[in-house]
Structure 1
Amino acid sequence: MRRLMLSACLLLPLAAPSLAAGHAKVAGNDKLQRSLQKLDPSELVTQVCDLGAMQAFAKDASWRTTDRVLIDAISTPRITGNKAAGDGGALRRGNDWYRFSFSCTLSADHMKVTDFRYKVGAAIPKSKWADIGLWN
């Protein structure tokens, strides 16, 4: 399965109007929304939660410069209904990757994040990046 790689420069402008409301919303870019709707349900949840993570980190002064997020970098999230959770996410800030755990709640259509909570852990050693599929 091919994974869409969504970056901060692509995601944040698309979602900017919804930041004030506190929700990560994919609607607003019809092409992106159509692309996401073609994904299988678990990949859709992963991609939309990646968007929610980018928005959450953008609001946090400590993590504002995050430019990549993968909620499933180290392990597959647990998806149940409209919720995804896991402890195997990775975020890139500057030249370093950090592990994070998260809980992501989505709207019924899975196109909007209604709640995203996270806890950032330790830096991931560069020696492990290739095994995980991370890059500089």
Structure 2
Amino acid sequence: MRILGASLVAAVAAFAASTSFAASSIEKSLMKLDPVERAHQACVVKGLQVVRKDKRLSKADRIMPDTFGRAKLDGNTVLAKGAAVHVGTSWYSLSFECTVTEDQMKAVAFTYQLGDAIPPETWEEVGLWH
């Protein structure tokens, strides 16, 4: 479900920046997910908005919350210590904390720490791609 959910929401999120239609599409896509996965994906959408404000990550196009360990939902907070962010032709380790609404439909806060580049020879092993 992780890849399907991530792909579903990521595809819609890419389109969401410019249309209200996409916003309702994101909501419909999120409602199809279980609450934990919905919270994770709401954080992915918010996370991309936030990290793109960082000069180093301005071209980020994907966040994978579960690369090196499952992100955890605790109340309304998602903690991801083993996430990854894709920028250009590279992946970087990422940890983040994200607060979601009670219904897990929207992330209202997102803070992160950027880690090191992930060596390409390990990508396949952890579910990343070129």
Q: Normalised by the size of structure 1, how large is the TM-score?
A: 0.83
**Which structure has greater helix proportion?**
2
CA separation of 1:70 and 1:127: change in aligned 2, threshold 3 A:
same
Q: Pick the aligned partner of 1:49 from 31, 43, 50.
A: 43
Residue 28 of structure 1 and its aligned partner are, at CA, apart by 5.8
2:34, 2:12 → 1: CA distance?
A: 22
Q: Which residue of the partner structure matches residue 6 of structure 2?
A: 4
The DSSP-based 3-state class of the residue aligned with 2:52 is: helix
- Please show how residues 1-136 of structure 1 align to structure 2 within 5 Å: 1=1, 2-5=4-7, 6-7=9-10, 10-11=12-13, 13-15=15-17, 29-136=23-130
2:65, 2:96 → 1: CA distance?
A: 8
Cα distance per residue 1:32-60 (max 9 Å; x no partner): 21121121111101111111111111222
The DSSP-based 3-state class of the residue aligned with 1:44 is: helix
Structure 1 residue ranges without an equivalent (≥5): 18-25
What amino acid maps onto 2:101 in structure 1? S
CA separation of 1:27 and 1:89: change in aligned 2, threshold 3 A:
farther
1:40, 1:104 → 2: CA distance?
A: 17
The percentage of counterpart residues that share the same residue type is: 32
1:10, 1:60 → 2: CA distance?
A: 22
The DSSP-based 3-state class of the residue aligned with 1:62 is: helix
Q: Which residue of the partner structure matches residue 20 of structure 1?
A: none
2:68, 2:37 → 1: CA distance?
A: 15
The DSSP-based 3-state class of the residue aligned with 1:3 is: helix
Structure 2 residue ranges without an equivalent (≥5): none
Q: Is the 8 A contact 2:78 2:99 kept in 1?
A: yes
Q: Is the 8 A contact 2:65 2:71 kept in 1?
A: yes
Q: Is the 8 A contact 2:5 2:33 kept in 1?
A: no
Q: Normalised by the size of structure 2, how large is the TM-score?
A: 0.86
